[in-house]
Amino acid sequence: MAIQPVIRLGDPRLLAVAEEVKNFNTAKLDQLIEDMFDTMYAENGAGLAAPQIGIGLRVVIFGFDTNTRYPDSGTVPKTILINPLIEALDENKQEGWEGCLSVPGMRGVVSRYSRIRYTGFDASGDTIDVTAEGFHARVVQHECDHLDGIIYTQRLVDPARFGFIEELQRAGCFNSNSS
Ligand code: NI
């Protein structure tokens, strides 16, 4: 168990394009993934990308049964996704509030594809091929953006719908009880 510090917006490592994983089934990769889950759970995250703990590899994890940071989001299957590719299944997009462990205490509205197919590999190198919609699809798009050095703040629909959680709650923008 090794919780890692999550690097925050402003750190240039968050803006770098991450490299593909070439070797699967290695102790090093398993350790990275274990550290990522420990960190995500410690921070109550919905997902985490390797660059957020300073590792420039195309590895994301996500998933939860319920999440206190996103109480209305339903269940997202626990997933390790390596070298991911995302394909939008149609042109429909949905606006929704997003946060990020690298931008603590804040939320903003981002438009994402409603229905996607994502492919990639698990830690053993076995193929993953999943169709997702709603919050599940949103989390995958958010996490995979990190691999290309994109933070959700670069995708805000409207700068007026971005701010500190406490203030947004006070203004009645959404209900959520932590960062
Ligand atoms: Ni994020």
pTM of the predicted model, to two decimals?
0.94
CA of 146 to the centre of ligand 1 (A): 7
What does the pLDDT look like over 114-129, one tens digit per residue?
999 999 999 999 999 9
What per-residue confidence (pLDDT) applies to 42?
A: 95
Active-site residue 91, yes or no?
no
CA of 149 to the centre of ligand 1 (A): 10
What is the full DSSP assignment across 30-41? HHHHHHHHHHHH
Of the pLDDT bands very low, low, confident and very high (cuts 50, 70, 90), residue 146 is very high
Check residues 173 and 19 and name the one with the higher pLDDT.
19
Of the pLDDT bands very low, low, confident and very high (cuts 50, 70, 90), residue 41 is very high
Residues 33, 16, 121, 133: is their CA dihedral positive or negative? Answer: positive
